[in-house]
Structure 1
Amino acid sequence: MRPPLRIAILECDTPADKVKAKYGTYGDIFERLLKSSALSLGEINPDTDLAISKFDIVNDTKYPNIDDIDAVLLTGSKHDSFADVPWINTLVEFTKKVYSDERVRLIGVCFGHQIIGRALGVPVGRSDIGWEVAVCEVDLTEKGKELFGKEKLYIHQMHRDIVGAWPKGVEPLGTSPRCTVQGMYAAQKLITVQGHPEFNSEIMLEILDGRHKLGIFSAEVYNEASSRAANVHDGLAVGAAFLKFLLDD
């Protein structure tokens, strides 16, 4: 695939007010990640070689025309990837359409990773182990080490839903003690991660604060996760892997 890379970001949620005021929508946050990753990769110009469009698919019904794009990126979300509601069902069907296309590629993050799993026919749902939050360690497979250029991956997590099995035709990228399916890959078709390469410590702490106030996180979970929110993470390496995946002919 040759630049400019036409990437449609499907915004599957809206950030908390403080996060949105400083960083914009999740589409804006991912655009910033991809451009920073392009700089670190050094193979494409972030200003001229990335053509990014954004679609709020929760509050609007408009989707990209797949003839006009090269890739679709599905963001994270507070919503359940397994829910039987109209907008999520529409997203799953659109994801199936993209996957069946010979040209357009898929990138999935957290909720987006789970939606791709659901579209490929494997179960998604609540983990029996519970939440995985803040910067966590992921044990990489050999393919994961190759794609991310790391022996271990450290990435922000914010989930208790998981993909329950490896879909047919994908290569595993990594596992963690709380989540077996941490990433999926199929050459020139899809790449996903359960974690959040786009998050920084400020975004993570805002989410932790909000969910602690709502009683979703106990004081113990909140304090322990908060202590890891500012740890070094590999978000840029994941973003670079996304771009290399798109550039791979």
Structure 2
Amino acid sequence: MNLKVASPIRLAILEADTPLPNTKAKFQGYGGVFELLLRSGAKALERPDFDATTGLEISRWQIELEPEKYPNPEDIDAILITGSRHDSFADTPWINTLVEYTAKILTETSVRAIGVCFGHQIIGRALKAGVGRNPDGWEAAVNDVQLSEKGKEIFGVDKIRIHQMHRDIVFNYPEGVEALGSSPVCKVQGMYVAKKLITVQGHPEFNEEIMTEILDTRHATGIFDDEAYNAHFKKVALPHDGLVVSKAFLRFLLEQ
């Protein structure tokens, strides 16, 4: 019989962007979007050793707007780095600070790291992988990710469908990191090291409403032309496996 986890998992969500107006009004920040995802995953996990209500202690850190404020590694068990409209490879002070902090977390502490989209790329960069613009262009809305054998084990399914919104990628797997999956447009769709890190290039936290607001905004501002917008919009309401990924994140946090 499994024993209850003695104390809550202290998870610091590092918010690397500010949501668009409708999403911000509903969730305040991306930390709120992730908290909903993770608490939904906790309920679906149904593990006797983990209390879905009290098992997570979540704090939020707006590192884009307050780059001088980061959680003390001694006060947390894990970080989650969110997505962002910014370039993960940019040579800007707040992004460089984030990369340095992430590298310290991964190499000098027992704190675990979760990375999503931009966060996935930041973890790749912190581990000295190549990060940059994808010559094959954008992935957006719901797309299939083909899982590796390790990916099938971690997610508990043969493939995942996940919202995407990126044209930047991690080009190669850092040494010692296991591949979780790939797509025709992006070879590095997820990374894993037991008890240390898990990442996905996609957005398990997004839903149809959030993705529609992003697509509409990027169409209106000319980032997506009519053809690209229509192609992506056809996939915005497809079923997706955000809950599957959420449960995998939680199992990772609970690894003994």
> If the TM-score is normalised by the length of the shorter chain, which range does it land in?
over 0.9
1:163 to 162, 170, 177: 170
Q: C-alpha displacement at 1:101, in angstroms?
A: 3.2
**Partner AA of 1:101 in structure 2:** E
Query: How many angstroms apart in 2 are the aligned matches of 1:228 and 1:24?
Result: 26
Counterpart of 1:49, as a letter, is G
- Once residues 6 and 183 of structure 2 are traced to their aligned partners in structure 1, the CA distance between those partners, rounded to angstroms, is 34
Q: Once the two structures are superposed, what CA deviation does each residue of 1:151-208 show, in whole Å capped at 9, x if it has no partner?
A: 1110000000000100001000000000000000000110000000000000000000
Aligned to 1:53: 59
| Cα distance in 2 for residues equivalent to 1:40 and 1:34 | 10
Q: Secondary structure at the match of 1:6?
A: strand
Q: Which residue in 1 is equivalent to 2:219?
A: 212
TM-score with structure 2 setting the length: 0.95
Q: State TM-score, norm by structure 1.
A: 0.98
Moved over 6 A (4+): none
Match in the other structure for 1:187 = 194
Q: Distance in 2 between matches of 1:24 and 1:6?
A: 20
Question: Deviations 1:22-72 (Å, cap 9, x if unpaired)?
Answer: 222100100110000000001222321110000000111200010010000
Give RMSD over aligned pairs.
1.0
Note if contact 1:31-1:52 (Cα within 8 Å) is conserved in structure 2.
yes
Quick one: distance in 2 between partners of 1:11 and 1:47?
A: 23
Alignment partner, residue 236 of structure 1: 243
2:17 corresponds in structure 1 to 13
1:36 aligned residue (28, 34, 40): 40
- Partner of 1:175 in structure 2? 182
Answer yes or no: is the 8 Å Cα contact 1:141–1:173 preserved in 2.
yes
The residue type paired with residue 8 of structure 2 is P
Distance of 2:187 and 2:29 partners within structure 1: 29
Q: How many pairs were matched up?
A: 249
Which amino acid counterpart does residue 154 of structure 1 have in structure 2?
R
Q: Is 1:196 aligned to 2:203, yes or no?
A: yes
5 Å matches for 1:85-96?
A: 85-96=92-103
Counterpart for residue 233 of structure 2: 226
**Structure 1 alignment gaps of length 5 or more:** none
Percent same amino acid at aligned positions?
61
